[in-house]
Chain A
Amino acid sequence: RKEVEQDPGPFNVPEGATVAFNCTYSNSASQSFFWYRQDCRKEPKLLMSVYSSGNEDGRFTAQLNRASQYISLLIRDSKLSDSATYLCVVLYGYGQNFVFGPGTRLSVLP
């Protein structure tokens, strides 16, 4: 079983739609959680960190459920520019052991 798993995708949604991505992780010792965004043939960039209480940044909302070892990302009012691959990232322990999920690709259609 992979340490970090994500919805396989791809997700094809119309502009303005709300879309949710799910991520599960297997190691309960995980310390920190992130969502990264990766555009085609580009490097990953941090979208947002995920906090225990859940957090929101504009149209993006991240939730964490430690008991179920589950992370989610909700995108409201999708824009064409949201088209990308979204990577779930988990940091284990107190080192720098970042584990990336395989990513979920989103295409927002006009």
Chain B
Amino acid sequence: AQSVTQPDIHITVSEGASLELRCNYSYGATPYLFWYVQSPGQGLQLLLKYFSGDTLVQGIKGFEAEFKRSQSSFNLRKPSVHWSDAAEYFCAVGAQGGSEKLVFGKGTKLTVNP
């Protein structure tokens, strides 16, 4: 069965610093990969997605992610973090077998220091 691992439960960075959030997946075929952000008290908002093609994907709010098949990774990056980026970030993978459900990682909570 497919699975998603986000190794970092909590990351703290200073405003203006660069950011990388890690995501590793386990999937038997070409994955469909997503990053979502959840601000406190809010639902999930899609940051970006990868289906095929260029392995470097651009998203909203200045985020990008790179799909690396050899490493089974889909890490999220941002060159300069803003205080408003403080939130919980979830990586997700499309499921096997024709099911349309997504499987989510446990999330990484981002704290931004001024």
Partners in one complex: no
Q: Which residues of B are interface residues toward A (Cβ below 8 A)? A: none
